[in-house]
Amino acid sequence: MRQAFPVTQLRPGPHDVSSILADLTADHVDREFLGNVELHLPRLHDLFVQLYGDRADGFESLASVVDLARRSWAARPADLKAVDRGRASDPDWFADERMVGGVCYVDRYAGGLSGIRDAIPYFRELGLTYLHLMPLFESPEGNSDGGYAVSSYRRVDPKLGTMQELAELATELRRAGISLVVDFIFNHTSNEHRWAKKAIAGDAGYEDFYLIFPDREMPDAYEQTTREIFPDDHPGSFVQLDDGRWIWATFYHFQWDLNYANPAVFEAMTGEMLFLANQGVEILRMDAVAFIWKRLGTTCESLPEAHLLLQAFNAVLRMAAPGLLFKSEAIVHPDEVVSYISPEECQISYNPLQMALTWEALATRDARLLQQALERRHALPPGTAWVNYVRSHDDIGWTFADEDAAELGIDGYPHRRFLNDFYVGRAPGSFARGVPFQENPRTGDARVTGTTASLAGIEAGDAGGEDRVVLAHALALSTGGIPLLYLGDEVAQLNDYGYADRPEEAGDSRWVHRPFRPEGAYAERTDATTPAGRVFSRLTRLIDVRRSTPEFAGNELVAFDARVSSVVAFLRPGDHGFAVFVVANVADTAVEIDALTLSGLAPEALDIVTSHPVWLGAGLTVPAHGVRWLRVRLR
Ligand code: GLC
């Protein structure tokens, strides 16, 4: 993805690599830090050349960034440096079979940070090792896009707690074996951020932090090729300021995109990133990565410079907080999603394709697209992993590749329309109770919202609802990488239609699937006569089994052609010729995989969920919406 222009010095002089290193040596920085810098500064320099080589201030920024790293390392608490060393000696820690993630809103799930602390025993009971707390920073009153409009990266929203409490929580979570994950919302800030206020006031040094234009000439030119992301809020990519000028705002009108062509912006955000790293955050969820670089005449998504920027942030981290990981949030074409995943860029990434195609298969009762994706789009470079999820706090967009679908005779455009109709309950026979999100009548585009239980049929009272919830999670738990559970889904929480009566949420249907902690459902979680109880016991059983199944570590997966269109099947290879064979059937009736198809597997197998032996010699029956995890021996 790198651009092909020559890599030379930015500008020889007081700030070239060797002079920066010489200065650090003269300052007697500790050997560990110096070692990190020696390893990563040449790469960072190279990236700065490509990003800022044509600017006079590029090199000064590089020197300032290294200085920020130096100060941040000096301030990094000893226990976090110990974590850094631990990670270095166990670099694949995040791909372990014991990894299980959870995600929640601090206020909705637990009232505040102290409530999250109180929930640690429950997180342990579930087996979580990763906890993503949704945005918790200071943000505008009322609509703040669920906290994705940040007014200060250094202050926690006072309604939730304080930064000090967050740092203490990180320590407590770590003691419980749980890594804290927070968002790094670096594409934009809120319009109330100090930088934003200074920029529109024309304060020296801040005018170029955002993309502001005096009239419509440039916005019109850019909008020839950009996509509308939140058309319900405003058309296009720009909003008008009170003084008549236009500012870039990809998402809501109060979320202003930062201008990374200005190295001062990179420097400023580096400071915020390192600050968060030193609070004990172990994974940063890199929000909206595809949008961070703009160039006229392009879609302004996933440009080569977006990758260079992520690599540059990564190089800084490796110097000053080397144990941290980046998780990419790129909900784009599958080719682009993988382009962000590498040890030098984002080590882990959401897997929106598997998520969307799981729902696609459940709706169509045809697993071929999902099976094809596992076959050809699952592999990742060493040292990286997927984060597999059934649904997130965001809408579901049908991000499969049209060219993949065409190979199966599926036309992408009408297929997406069908899926949208199906999941908002408009298609005849639909079991789903979803709600449309950002329907764009001009383009026919739309996405879908809803909790797992409501989308899968539990809300509609469909007989297959609970099985589908379990099936979808069983896939996320077994394909490899980190499975991520939206907390509350394990007790089958339903949609919260109350959002429509809350003015700051009414215009954004994603709130339908961000319910408050479902107290009633949690109270029923041990009662097998309730959906909450049944779903909870089945999912927690799967989580427990995953934890003791070494084949589920890593990402190696061999797709298995079961010769039944409603079946998705694959092997997760293990030691000594054994493997775990995962088979799921999305149809409403049981199907049979015949003995010949299974003849590559020894007939004696073990169901690792029920602990019962299974005989494959006469074929295998997979029940309606059923899933099996079998330990098999390859012949
Ligand atoms: C990401 C978030 C989403 C938010 C957007 C803007 O996509 O997941 O919730 O609206 O970024 O920050």
| pLDDT tens column, 569-619 | 999 999 999 999 999 999 999 999 999 999 999 999 999 999 999 999 999
Phi, psi of 78 (to 5 degrees): -60, -40
Q: Phi, psi at residue 406, to the nearest 5°?
A: -60, -35
Convert the pLDDT of each residue in 168-220 to its tens digit. 999 999 999 999 999 999 999 999 999 999 999 999 999 999 999 999 999 99
Q: Which fold has domain 555-633?
A: Immunoglobulin-like (2.60.40)
Q: Which residues are catalytic?
A: 287, 329
Q: Show Cβ contacts of residue 88 under 8 Å, excluding neighbours closer than 6 positions.
A: 322, 323
H/E stretch holding 239 reads strand 238-240
| pLDDT single digits (tens) 539-552 | 999 999 999 999 99
Q: Is the Cβ atom of 398 under 6 angstroms away from ligand 1? A: no
For ligand 1, atom 3, which residue shows the shortest CA distance? 394
- 508 CB within 6 A, ligand 1: no
In the numeric block, which tokens belong to residue 457?
């049929």
Would you put residue 349 in left (φ > 0), alpha (ψ -120 to 50) or beta? beta
The H or E element containing residue 504 is helix 503-506
The token pair that represents 515 in the structure block: 């319910």
287 Cβ below 6 A of ligand 1 = yes
Question: Whose alpha carbon is nearest atom 4 of ligand 1?
Answer: 148
Q: Whose CA is nearest to atom 10 of ligand 1?
A: 145
Q: Which atom of ligand 1 is nearest to the CA of 331?
A: 7
Ligand 1 contacts CB of residue 183 (under 6 A)? no
pLDDT at 219: 98
- Domain assignments of the chain as residue spans, ordered by start: 555-633
Other Cβ atoms less than 10 A from the Cβ of 55: the count is: 16
What does the pLDDT look like over 414-452, one tens digit per residue?
Answer: 999 999 999 999 999 999 999 999 988 888 788 999 999
Tokens of 504: 């700051």
| Radius of gyration over every alpha carbon of the chain, rounded to an integer in angstroms | 25
> Which pLDDT score, from 0 to 100, does residue 15 have?
58
2 pLDDT higher than 60: no
| Cα dihedral value 392, 474, 470, 514, nearest 10 | -10
pLDDT tens track for 497-534: 999 999 999 999 999 999 999 999 999 999 999 999 99
